[in-house]
Structure 1
Amino acid sequence: MDDRTNTIAGWALAGGILALGLSIATGMIFHSEHPEKPGYPVEGAEEAATGAAEVPIATLLATADPVHGAELFKKCASCHTITQGGANGIGPNLWGTMGEEIGKGKGGFAFSAALSGHGGKWDFETMNAWLTKPSKFAPGTLMTFAGLPNPKDRADIMVYINQQGSPIPLPAAPAAAPAAAGNEAEANAAAPENGAVEGNAAEPKAAH
């Protein structure tokens, strides 16, 4: 009886181990096929979410806040002065910068070749590009400032800088898109009347 009991117990134990192994294997298979996030990816959805058109800088300049720009400029004060006759520091004095040639003047400040050889003048377009990312505007520049990603901040600080010794005219804001109602009215005016479209119907039918 003891041998028979041991045999039955052995088979029961083996069966339990086999069942446990199958359970673990099945769980691993189904887990590996289960997506980390439910649902199906939609191609282009992420690009559409992040590809919203940025407001033109000229539009933001029209309502820019120079007081906020002065606050933002405090981040630049460790390297730049912006007072008339102010001394150059790590960076040049920025009094009267707007409208000047890029990388020139400033009391003999030693500009990097990336700026001194850039060409052009500091207008709102070039200054906006510079403030967005200096290293992209002038590859090789010694300027370590990463840039201002917020276009409103750039507009505010540009208007403030423009007030310091070299006011140049703000660019004209782009015209707003015409209202949808106006477009519909123009389309209706251009469309021919029903009678003109159905001109063939007015002709007599040929006898058969």
Structure 2
Amino acid sequence: MSLEANKAFAAVLTAGICFMVAGLVGGLVVHPQRLDKPAIETGEVVTAAAPAAPAALEPIAPLLASANVENGRTIASRQCAACHTFTEGGRNAVGPNLYGVVGGPHAHREDFNYSPAMKALHEKPWDYEALNAFLNRPAAAIPGTRMAFAGLNQAQQRADVIAYLRSLAGSPVPLP
């Protein structure tokens, strides 16, 4: 073995012995005293209550009668256009093209790779209440969806967006 290797081994051994001795001396010098009661009283332990059920989503049908398509277009261009396109025959982006989505089936585009959760609902049409629930909280409406959007909290905004999406069709689905 070389002299340098011996020096390195001796340094490690010496450091270990120093730390061991320091621990022993510290234990002899410092005598911790256990407290009879906690230094800070936190009060009674309260068990957590079951989480409250989410509030029922108000029906969207009454709001659709007064929904504003232009407001819906503005909201969609701000909130949805980063991932979706809206033109007839348009390309898919991160999300599918939404032309003709109202009244169409879930997973309505054959050329888009939907999540298994969305594909499982292919036979179910996108009616107004399904769109309302999905736009409110996508992950709660369809657990397992890949859509990472948090949702629109205001019912009137959802109604406006749904009215806009309804206008994106050759023959729009009748209002309820």
What TM bracket, shorter-length normalisation? 0.5 to 0.7
User: How far off is 1:107 after superposition?
Assistant: 4.1
Question: Which residues of 2 match residues 1-208 of structure 1 at below 5 A?
Answer: 56-74=59-77, 75-104=79-108, 106-118=109-121, 119-165=123-169, 166-171=171-176
Describe the shift of the 1:86–1:57 C-alpha distance in structure 2 as closer, same or farther (beyond 3 A): same
- Alignment-derived partner of residue 192 in structure 1: none
User: How far off is 1:86 after superposition?
Assistant: 0.5
Q: Which has the higher contact order (CA 8 A, sep 6+)?
A: 2
Q: Say what the alpha-carbon RMSD is for the aligned residues.
A: 1.9
User: How far off is 1:56 after superposition?
Assistant: 3.2
State how many pairs are aligned: 120
User: Which amino acid is 2:136 matched to?
Assistant: T
Q: Percent identity?
A: 43
Report the Cα distance in structure 1 between the residues aligned to 2:91 and 2:105, rounded to whole angstroms: 19
Describe the shift of the 1:133–1:107 C-alpha distance in structure 2 as closer, same or farther (beyond 3 A): same
Q: Secondary structure at the match of 1:63?
A: coil
| Structure 1 spans left out of the alignment, 5+ residues | 1-46, 172-208
User: Which amino acid is 1:92 matched to?
Assistant: P
| Structure 2 spans left out of the alignment, 5+ residues | 1-51
Report the Cα distance in structure 2 between the residues aligned to 1:84 and 1:54, rounded to whole angstroms: 31
User: How far off is 1:102 after superposition?
Assistant: 0.6
User: Which amino acid is 1:68 matched to?
Assistant: N
Poorly superposed stretches of 4+, deviation over 3 Å: 53-56
Report the Cα distance in structure 1 between the residues aligned to 2:81 and 2:175, rounded to whole angstroms: 25
Report the Cα distance in structure 2 between the residues aligned to 1:55 and 1:139, rounded to whole angstroms: 20
Report the Cα distance in structure 1 between the residues aligned to 2:160 and 2:107, rounded to whole angstroms: 23
User: How far off is 1:55 after superposition?
Assistant: 5.3
Cα displacement string for residues 70-112 of structure 1 (whole angstroms, at most 9, x for unaligned residues): 00001211110000111001000011111111113x2410110
Higher helix share: 1
Q: Secondary structure at the match of 2:101?
A: coil
